[in-house]
Amino acid sequence: AQSVTQPDIHITVSEGASLELRCNYSYGATPYLFWYVQSPGQGLQLLLKYFSGDTLVQGIKGFEAEFKRSQSSFNLRKPSVHWSDAAEYFCAVASDTGRRALTFGSGTRLQVQP
Amino acid sequence: ETGVTQTPRHLVMGMTNKKSLKCEQHLGHNAMYWYKQSAKKPLELMFVYSLEERVENNSVPSRFSPECPNSSHLFLHLHTLQPEDSALYLCASSQDMGLNEKLFFGSGTQLSVL
């Protein structure tokens, strides 16, 4: 069965610093991978997704993620964090075997210090 | 505004009450979902509807009863809930059930069971 692990429950970075949020997935074939962001009191919003082609994908709000098959990872990055990026970030995977709907990780809460 | 509206935003109910959560999407999508978000746990998929037909029931207790009268509306009927059912209930929709589909989420209903 597909699964997603986000090893970091909580991360704090300074405004302007770079950011990397980790995501590891467990799935045999090529997965469909997503990053969503949830601001307080809101639903989730898609940042970016990968399902084929270039392994470095660009998303909204200056985020990017890189698919590394050898490491079963899909880490999210941003070169310079803004205070408005404080939120919870969820990695998710979909597969073409078994359940088709998204499986989400447990999330990483990002705090941004001034 | 994502085009997915959930009401009510907050709900407090006793264990013997019956209540319903409502979700409406204005995007012309064909698939709708209920997710449960509990503290420090991954989002749990509860139900999936595609073209008003339930296509997935993820081992959800019978005290949760979904209804999809048309492709724009989704309900979650609640009865004799337990305190552990307290959570944020998120509704989402997507154009179809393709693996690379983007989910559009509502802001959720924060449910407290006393």
Task: Give per-residue pLDDT as tens, B20-36.
Answer: 999 999 999 999 999 99
Q: Please list the pLDDT of chain A residue by residue as tens digits (114 residues).
A: 678 999 999 999 999 999 999 999 987 677 899 999 999 888 899 999 998 888 999 999 999 999 999 999 999 999 999 999 999 999 999 876 555 678 899 999 999 999
Average pLDDT, chain B: 92
Chain A contact for B97 (CB, 8 A cutoff) = yes
Please give the pLDDT value at position B56: 76
Which of A43, A45, A105 shows the shortest C-beta gap to B42? A105
Give the pLDDT band of residue B52 (cuts 50, 70, 90).
Answer: confident
Long-range contacts of B80-83 (CB under 8 A, 24+ apart): B80/B15, B80/B16, B81/B13, B81/B15, B81/B17, B81/B111, B81/B113, B82/B15, B82/B113, B83/B15, B83/B113, B83/B114
User: Could B100 and A9 be called an inter-chain contact, meaning their C-beta atoms sit closer than 8 Å?
Assistant: no
Nearest to B35 by CA among B68, B76, B1: B76
| pLDDT score, position A28 | 63
Q: Which residues of A touch B41 (CB under 8 A)?
A: 106
Residues B14, B27: Cα–Cα separation, whole Å? 34
pLDDT at B8 over 70: yes
* Burial annotation A37-60 (CB, 10 A radius, 16+ → b, else e): bbeeebbbbbbbbbeeeeeebebe
Q: Beta partners for B79? A: B18
Contacts of B97 in chain A (CB under 8 A): 100-101
Q: Are B43 and B37 in contact (CB under 8 A)?
A: yes
What's residue A100's pLDDT? 61
pLDDT digits (tens, 9 = 90+) for B57-95: 778 999 999 999 999 999 999 999 999 999 999 999 999
Residue A55 in contact with partner chain B when CB distance is under 8 A: no
- Band (B46; pLDDT cuts 50, 70, 90): very high
Distance (Å, whole) CA A99 – CA A52: 20
Percent of chain B with pLDDT over 90: 73
Write down the pLDDT at residue B97.
82
> Does A98 lie at the interface with B, CB-CB under 8 angstroms?
no
For A53: left if phi > 0, alpha if psi spans -120 to 50, otherwise beta; the answer is left
